[in-house]
Amino acid sequence: MLALNFLQSFCLSLPGTGITGYFKKKMALIAQQIPRWFHTIKLSSFIKAAQLIKHSVWPGKILLNGVSAQALLPSDNCFLQWGFKTFRTSSSWTSSQSAKSSRQESSSPTQSSLLPSMSEQSEKIPSFHSELPLEELDDLPSVSPLQQISEEEAIQIIAHPPLPPASFTLGDYVDHSETLQKLVHLGVDLSKIEKHPDAANLLLRLDFEKDIKQILLFLKDLGLEDNQLGTFLTKNYAIFSEDLENLKIRVAYLQSKNFSKANITQMVSNAPFLLNFSVERLDNRLGFFQQELELSVKKTRDLVVRLPRLLTGSLEPVKENLKVYRLELGFKRNEIQHMITRIPKMLTANKKKLTETFDYVHNVMSIPHHVIVKFPQVFNTRLFKVKERHLFLTYLGRAQYDPAKPNYISLDKLVSIPDEVFCKEIAKASVKDFEKFLKTL
Amino acid sequence: MGSSGVARLQGLFAVYKPPGLKWLHLRETVELQLLKGLNAGKPRAPEQRVRFLLGPVEGSEEKKLTLTATSVPTLTTHRLMRGPAFTSLKIGVGHRLDVQASGVLVLGVGHGCRLLTYMYHAHLTKDYTVRGLLGKATDDFCEDGRLVEKTIYGHVTREKLDRILAVIQGSHQKALVTYSNLDLKSQEAYEMAVQGTIRPMNKSPMLITGIRCLYFAPPEFLIEVQCMHETQQQLRKLVHEIGLELKTTAVCMQVRRTRDGLFTLDDALLRTQWNLHSIQDAIQTAAPRVAAELERNLRRQEYIADQTAKTQVREREGTHRTQQSHKTDSLNRGPKTKKDQAEKCRRGD
C-alpha cells in the first residue's frame, strides 16, 4: 500500500500514461521492480572498503515543485527504516581510498530518497535520524576528538563539504555520480530531466552497470545509433523503469505484425514513448487506424512508420480532423485516404489552421477540391507563405492554377520550394522584387 | 561568441510587420529567433576544478602519502547540465500597430529599451499610406466589417478630394500650434513656425501635419498621411469622414506605416531577416542616426523648457514691478513739492 502511493505520484509524472487501466498495470510492474532497486542500493558501494560497516547515507533528496507530499508521507517511513543507516556527525567520504581505520566513514552520497521536500519534511528527517544512531553508536569504538594521531592519519582525514541533502538541480550531484556522468557523455540533457523531480530521483538511484546498461544494450540492439540515444533518453527517461522482458515482448509483437527491423528503429527514434505502451494498447491503436481510415494493412503500416506519434498521441484530435475533412471541408472518403497516405501529418494538424488555409486556397485562390487533393502539401505549409506568394503572382499576372490552361502553376511548386527558386523559376522575378513587393502588403 | 553576440545586440531596429500578425506574436517570434542564434554559438571548453587528492609523494621511495592539488574535470558547468546559456531577452516595442495594419515597427533590445522611451518623448511624426474604397460604409470602418450603407460615388473628382484634404490639413495646423504651448509672440517661436517645426511635445489628440492624395481611381484612392499621436483606427475613421465630406461613404482597405520617426521602409527587416546577424547589423547601422536625432530633440526640449521658463519669469516680473510701484507710492509720503515742504516746516515736524 505504501509502495503504491509512491508509485502513484511517480506515475503521474510519467508522460504518456493517461489511461487508468494501463496505470494499474504500470504500478504492478514497478512494484515488482522496487525490491530490485532496494537490493541494488543496499549492496552498491562506491568504496571497496575492507570492512563493510554501516554506510552512513546523507539523506539526499530532490526538491519537488508542486508535487503533493500527502501521497508520499506513508512511504517515507518505509524508506527511512530501510534506506538510512547511521548518521554520523563527521560525514567524510572518499572517492576511492581504502578505509584505514574505523573512524573513516564511507558514505554514498548519491543515494537519495524519493521524499518530498516540504520544509516541514526536511525538519522531520534529521530528527528521525538522530534517533537511529543512538542504538548503533554502541557498536563502534568511542574515539575522542582530542586524541593524538599521526601525520599520516591526519592527512587521510578528508572532510569535504557534504553534498546538499536537497537540491533543485542535478548539477550538485553530477561530479559524485558515475551514472550521471556517463549519461551526460551519452548526450542526455539532464537540465530538462531535472525539471521532473521524480525522474531526477530515479536517475540518481539507478546504478549504471546493473540497470541502465541493459536498457542501453537493448536499445542498441533495436538499431538506435549512439548519437540518437541522448535525445531518446532525454524524452523517454521512463524507459529505465520498464521491465526488459516487457520491452522485448512489445518488439516481438511489432515484428509479428510484419514491421521490419529498420521500420521499428525508425518508429522508436521518432516516437520515443512507443515501447512504453503495452501490447494491448498498441494493438488497439493499430486497429483504430485501420478501421477509421479503411486502409489496407500495408498502407496502415506505412502510415504508422512515417508518423509513429499517431500511436503514442491522443486519438481525439485525429477523430476531429477526420470529421472536419469530411463534413466541413467536403472531401470524399477516397480523397481523404489519398491525402493522408501522402501527408500523414494532416491527421494531427491544428483544426483552426486547417480551416483557414482551406478557406484561402478554395475561396480566394479559387482552387477546386480535385486539384487540392493532388497537392495536399498545401495543408502542411504556413498560411502567410501561401498568401504572400499568391499575391505576388497575382500582381505579376501569373496566378494561373487551372491545369487545363497554359502557364499553369501547380500548388506544390507554389508552397514547397524555397524563396530563391520560387522567384527565379515560377515568378520569373528577382528576390529583391519579391522583398519590395512584400513591403507594400 | 555568445557574450560578444549579446554585446552587439543593444539598441533600436525596425521590423516590417505583415498584416494579420499581432504585435505581441511578432515580438515573441523575434525573441525566439534571437535566442536561437545566441544559443547556437560554439560550446564552452570543458571546465576544471581544483581538488586536493591523496597520492604518493613524488621522488620518494617510501610509501608516504600527501595531498596534491590537481585539476579535475567537472561536469557541473556542462551545457547539458546547465541548460541553454540564454533563456530570455529584454525586447521592447515602440509605437504599436494593430492586427490588420502593417508597416514599420520599431523594436528595442537590451539597453535600447531605454532609447524607446526617449524616442517616445521626442514626439516625432509618422508617415502612413492609407488606401480607401468609395461607395461602402461599415461599422468598424474596415472592408470586412458589417455593411451599414452603400452609396454612389460618381460625382467624386480628384479636385474635390484635394480640397477636402487641404481643409483637413489647415485645421490640424492650427491645432498643432495650440497644443504646442508656445508663445508665438517670441522671436524664436516665430522662426520655428516659419520653418514648420512646431509640434506638441506632450500628450495631445491625433494631429495631422501633412496629408495628400497619391492616387485616385474611383472607387479606390490612396492618401499619404503624416501624423502624430495617432492610432490606426483613428486613421480608418479619417477615411470614413473623408467619404462623408465628399457626400458619399468610404471604407479603409489598408493602413501601412512607411516611416516611424527616423526608421523608414528601407530600414525595416522582413520576416526572412528576423535572425541574429541581420538584427545586429540593423542595430549597428541605425545607432548613429538614433543618437543624432535624440541629441537634437534633447536640445529642442531644453530650448522649449527654457522658453516656457522665460515666459513665466516675464509674467512674474511684470506683476512684481506693478506691485513694487504701489509699494513705493505708499511709502513715499514725504513732501512732493517745495510748497508741501514749506508747509511741513511751518507745522513744525
What is the residue-level pLDDT of chain A in tens, covering all 441 positions?
444 444 444 444 444 444 444 444 444 444 444 444 433 333 333 333 333 333 443 444 444 343 333 333 333 333 333 333 333 433 343 333 333 333 333 333 333 443 333 333 333 333 334 444 455 555 556 777 788 888 777 777 777 788 888 888 888 888 888 888 888 888 899 999 988 888 888 888 888 788 888 899 999 998 999 889 999 999 998 888 888 999 999 999 999 999 999 999 999 999 999 999 999 999 999 999 999 888 889 999 999 999 999 999 899 999 999 999 999 999 999 999 999 999 999 999 999 999 999 999 999 999 999 999 999 999 999 999 999 999 999 999 999 999 899 889 999 999 999 999 999 999 999 999 999 999 999
For testing the chain A interface, which of B39, B75, B102 should be mutated: the one with the most A CBs within 10 Å?
A: B75
Say if the Cβ atoms of B76 and A439 lie within 8 Å. Answer: no
Distance from the B82 Cα atom to the nearest Cα atom in chain A, whole angstroms:
6
Look at A17-26, A428-437, B222-231, B317-326 and tell me which has the smallest mean pLDDT: A17-26
What pLDDT score does A138 carry? 58
Distance from the B257 Cα atom to the nearest Cα atom in chain A, whole angstroms:
10
Say if the Cβ atoms of B67 and A191 lie within 8 Å. Answer: no
Checking ipTM against 0.85, whether it exceeds it is no
- Cβ-based interface (< 8 Å): residues of A facing B: 97, 152, 155-156, 158, 169-172, 174-175, 180-181, 184, 187-192, 384, 388, 419, 435, 438-441
Say if the Cβ atoms of A155 and B265 lie within 8 Å. Answer: no
Radius of gyration of chain A (CA): 30
SS3 B207: strand
Closest CB to B65: pick one of A156, A190, A439.
A156
CA A364 from chain centre, in angstroms, equals 42
Just list the catalytic residues of B.
98
Q: Give the max Cα distance, chain A.
A: 103
A41 vs A35: CA distance, rounded Å: 10
Q: How many CB atoms lie within 10 A of CB B81?
A: 21
- Residues of B with Cβ-Cβ distance to A170 under 8 angstroms: 81
A334 vs A337: CA distance, rounded Å: 5
Distance from the A379 Cα atom to the nearest Cα atom in chain B, whole angstroms:
19
For testing the chain A interface, which of B70, B74, B80 should be mutated: the one with the most A CBs within 10 Å?
A: B80
Say if the Cβ atoms of B81 and A152 lie within 8 Å. Answer: no
Closest CB to B80: pick one of A190, A388, A441.
A190
Helix (H) or strand (E) holding B295: helix B276-331
A51 vs A35: CA distance, rounded Å: 25
- Residues of A with Cβ-Cβ distance to B127 under 8 angstroms: none
Closest CB to B66: pick one of A155, A158, A439.
A155
Task: Tell me the sheet residues that pair with B250.
Answer: B134
DSSP letters along A356-402, please? HHHHIIIIIS---HHHHHH-GGGGGS-HHHHHHHHHHHHHHT-----
B5 vs B38: CA distance, rounded Å: 7
B252 vs B134: CA distance, rounded Å: 9
pTM check: above 0.90: no
Task: Report how many Cβ contacts below 8 Å link chain A to chain B.
Answer: 62
User: Pairing state of beta strands B102-109 and B91-93?
Assistant: antiparallel
The CA-based angle B337-B341-B342, given to 5 degrees, is 115
Say if the Cβ atoms of B54 and A158 lie within 8 Å. Answer: yes
CA distances B321 to A131, B326, B328, Å, are: 92, 9, 11
Locate B279 and state its grid cell: 538584427
Q: Dihedral (C-alpha) A253, A254, A256, A262: value to the nearest 10 degrees?
A: -140
Amino acid identity of residue B29, one-letter, is T
What is the band of B323 on the pLDDT scale with cuts at 50, 70, 90? low
Say if the Cβ atoms of B265 and A152 lie within 8 Å. Answer: no
B122 vs B261: CA distance, rounded Å: 9
Task: Tell me the sheet residues that pair with A385.
Answer: none
Q: How many CB atoms lie within 10 A of CB B84?
A: 14
CA B310 from chain centre, in angstroms, equals 28
Say if the Cβ atoms of B74 and A187 lie within 8 Å. Answer: no
For residues A13 and A196, the answer to whether their CB atoms sit within 8 Å is yes
Say if the Cβ atoms of B271 and A384 lie within 8 Å. Answer: yes
* Length of chain B (residues): 349
What does the mean pLDDT of chain B come to?
87
For residues A381 and A418, the answer to whether their CB atoms sit within 8 Å is no
Task: Name which of B208, B21, B13 is nearest B102 in CA terms.
Answer: B21
